[in-house]
């Protein structure tokens, strides 16, 4: 069983909360850079390799800038994410646009920025043409092979039930039509399983995509310039889970590349990834303070964060490990539900969780919230989004997004048209 250790100590946390009250998300710059480097090194055998960080996982300019310095591009799914990426200095083919149910004006923005457009559906060819006033030179298509996606005997996910991507026949047709309309460079993309904890996921997916690319090239003559393995590499949220080894994963993809693409004369294809979780999840944490104890039919610890700060437990019953700072080595001889204050009974960070005794005022470190954490936040019950902080490599802490105030909550409301008592002239 591996041990999950916070990237800060109780003393550091106490210093931080003097300036920034809990709850907040804290990110570890050194960890982010080191994870990005291990990823790059795992795929260094591929000349054109590029990671396009999935912006939706952690849409913060400081995080995106760090990743840009580490050689990453960005994967955007909406106009606002495109604008954010542009504001962070990303341009042209450093940007991937992977959206679905896309409208012409969204394609238009992506195209005006020179982004690579990844087409989710065959019927979007017309929309793409409309938005871009023609078909861009480079187009990527998203594949959905249908059926169950399995590795060995284990079913990882069910692409047949997924709304994304084109069928195999549609892919061929899409490449043909796009070529007729002027596309010259093609990409192939698929995302078949999320948060995988096996080193076999990427190599298995890569082999499917490599074989499909060889077929597509033979059928249509299209020049396939890159293959995008998308996201899906997981992190060990539970201490007992084995972590992925990105070096082993990169080597597995290399073997499939040598066996399938190179003999087909396609040894110049670039490999792209769009990881979000793998790069950021473990390099972020949600810090929250224990506020109350409640003893009814169960033992509850109420904290000052809630599902609005971290939705994954409420939404997927996802496990997030909790460390009580300063009690890292204390015996876990209490059983608690750790809960937020929402009027929703799924607002629980932990259920029947063995933890050390928690006292009011204790600082709880909720692990692995760096991806799909802050970004999935919401304002239910009038809760305000927290700050995001960055632990710099020199040990200093920088606020990289301020906490919302009630003024932010009211900013989209307009009281002027209401005949309210006390407001009448």
Q: Does 368 bind ligand PLP (CB under 6 A)?
A: no
- Phi-psi map region of 382: left, alpha, beta (phi>0 left; psi -120 to 50 alpha): left
- Residue of 231, 284, 340, 370 that binds ligand PLP (CB under 6 A): 231
Q: Does 85 bind ligand PLP (CB under 6 A)?
A: no
- Residue of 84, 275, 287, 301 that binds ligand PLP (CB under 6 A): 275
Subset of 8-37 contacting ligand PLP (CB under 6 A)? none
Neighbours of 33 (CB within 10 A): 16
- For residue 398, the number of C-alpha atoms closer than 13 Å in the C-beta half-sphere is 12
Q: How far apart are the first and last CA of the chain?
A: 69
- Would you say 294 and 381 are in contact if contact means Cβ atoms under 8 Å apart? no
The CA–CA distances, whole Å, from 149 to 121, 191, 241 equal 20, 11, 21
Q: Quote the crossing angle between the two packed helices 124-132 and 104-112, to the nearest 10°.
A: 50
Helix (H) or strand (E) holding 390: strand 387-391
Spatial CB neighbours of 141, under 8 Å, sequence gap ≥ 6? 118, 119, 166, 171, 174, 175, 178, 186, 187, 188, 189
- Residue of 6, 136, 187, 232 that binds ligand PLP (CB under 6 A): 232
**Residue closer to ligand PLP (CB basis): 98 or 289:** 98
**Residue closer to ligand PLP (CB basis): 54 or 324:** 54
Q: Does 78 bind ligand PLP (CB under 6 A)?
A: no
The two structure tokens encoding residue 98: 């992977």
Total residues contacting ligand PLP by CB under 6 A comes to: 17
Subset of 164-183 contacting ligand PLP (CB under 6 A)? none
Q: Does 356 bind ligand PLP (CB under 6 A)?
A: no
Subset of 88-127 contacting ligand PLP (CB under 6 A)? 98
- For residue 47, the number of C-alpha atoms closer than 13 Å in the C-beta half-sphere is 4
Cα–Cα distance between 107 and 196 in angstroms, integer? 30
**Residue closer to ligand PLP (CB basis): 253 or 364:** 253
Nearest to 239 by CA among 181, 323, 170, 349: 323
**Residue closer to ligand PLP (CB basis): 39 or 286:** 39
The CA–CA distances, whole Å, from 245 to 38, 94, 221, 364 equal 10, 26, 36, 28
Q: Does 157 bind ligand PLP (CB under 6 A)?
A: no
Part in contact with ligand PLP (CB under 6 A); list of ranges 102-110, 180-188, 190-198, 252-260: 190-198
**Residue closer to ligand PLP (CB basis): 277 or 320:** 277
> Closest distance between ligand PLP and the C-beta of residue 273, in Å?
8
**Residue closer to ligand PLP (CB basis): 143 or 336:** 143
Q: Which residues pair with 290 in a beta bridge?
A: 303
Using CB under 6 A as the criterion, what x/- string covers residues 42-71 for binding ligand PLP?
A: ------------x-xx--------------
**Residue closer to ligand PLP (CB basis): 70 or 75:** 75
Q: Tell me the H-state helices in 113-196.
A: 124-132, 168-180
Part in contact with ligand PLP (CB under 6 A); list of ranges 200-208, 227-235, 263-271, 338-346: 227-235
- Residue of 28, 29, 51, 75 that binds ligand PLP (CB under 6 A): 75
Q: CA 199, 69, 29 angle in degrees (round to 5)?
A: 70
CB-based closest residue to ligand PLP = 231
Q: Quote the crossing angle between the two packed helices 201-220 and 246-256, to the nearest 10°.
A: 30
> Closest distance between ligand PLP and the C-beta of residue 52, in Å?
8
- Would you say 256 and 211 are in contact if contact means Cβ atoms under 8 Å apart? no
> Closest distance between ligand PLP and the C-beta of residue 154, in Å?
18
Q: Does 274 bind ligand PLP (CB under 6 A)?
A: yes
- Could you tell me whether strands 95-98 and 348-355 are parallel, antiparallel, or unpaired per DSSP bridges? unpaired
Q: Does 6 bind ligand PLP (CB under 6 A)?
A: no
> Closest distance between ligand PLP and the C-beta of residue 335, in Å?
31
Q: Does 73 bind ligand PLP (CB under 6 A)?
A: no
List residues near ligand PLP by CB under 6 A: 54, 56-57, 75, 98, 191, 194-195, 230-232, 274-278, 371
């Amino acid at each position: 069983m591996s041990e999950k250790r916070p990237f800060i100590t109780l003393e550091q946390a106490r210093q931080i909360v003097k300036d920034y009250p809990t709850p907040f998300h804290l990110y570890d710059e050194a960890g982010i850079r080191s994870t990005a480097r291990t990823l790059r090194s795992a795929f260094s055998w591929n000349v054109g390799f590029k990671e396009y960080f999935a912006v939706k996982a952690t849409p913060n300019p400081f995080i995106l800038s760090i990743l840009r310095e580490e050689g990453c591009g960005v994967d955007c799914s909406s106009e606002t994410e495109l604008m954010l990426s542009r504001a962070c200095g990303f341009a042209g083919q450093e940007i991937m646009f992977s959206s679905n149910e896309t409208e012409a004006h969204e394609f238009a923005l992506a195209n005006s920025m020179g982004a690579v457009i990844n087409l989710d559906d065959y019927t979007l060819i017309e929309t793409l043409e409309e938005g871009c006033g023609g078909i861009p030179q480079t187009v990527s298509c998203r594949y959905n092979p249908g059926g169950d996606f399995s590795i060995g005997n284990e079913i990882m996910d069910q692409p047949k039930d997924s709304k994304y991507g084109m069928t195999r026949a549609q892919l061929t047709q899409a490449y043909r039509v796009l070529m007729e309309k002027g596309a010259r460079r093609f990409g192939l993309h698929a995302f078949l399983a999320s948060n995988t904890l096996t080193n076999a996921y990427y190599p298995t997916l890569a082999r499917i995509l490599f074989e499909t690319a060889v077929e597509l090239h033979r059928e249509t003559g299209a020049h396939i310039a890159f293959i995008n393995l998308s996201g899906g590499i997981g992190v060990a949220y539970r201490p007992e889970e084995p972590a992925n080894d990105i070096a082993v994963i990169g080597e597995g993809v290399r073997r499939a590349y040598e066996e399938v693409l190179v003999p087909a004369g396609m040894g110049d294809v670039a490999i792209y990834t769009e990881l979000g979780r793998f790069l950021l999840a473990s390099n972020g944490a949600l810090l929250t303070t224990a506020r109350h104890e409640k003893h009814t039919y169960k033992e509850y610890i109420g904290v000052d964060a809630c599902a609005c700060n971290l939705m994954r437990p409420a939404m997927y019953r996802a496990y997030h490990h909790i460390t009580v700072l300063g009690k890292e080595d204390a015996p876990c001889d209490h059983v608690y539900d750790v809960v937020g204050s929402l009027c929703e009974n799924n607002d629980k960070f932990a259920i029947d969780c063995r933890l050390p005794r928690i006292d009011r005022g204790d600082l709880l470190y909720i692990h692995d919230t760096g991806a799909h954490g802050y970004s999935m936040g919401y304002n239910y019950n009038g809760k305000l989004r927290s700050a995001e902080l960055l632990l710099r490599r020199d040990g200093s802490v920088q606020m990289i997004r301020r906490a919302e105030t009630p003024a932010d909550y009211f900013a989209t409301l307009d009281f002027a048209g209401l005949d309210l008592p006390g407001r009448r002239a």
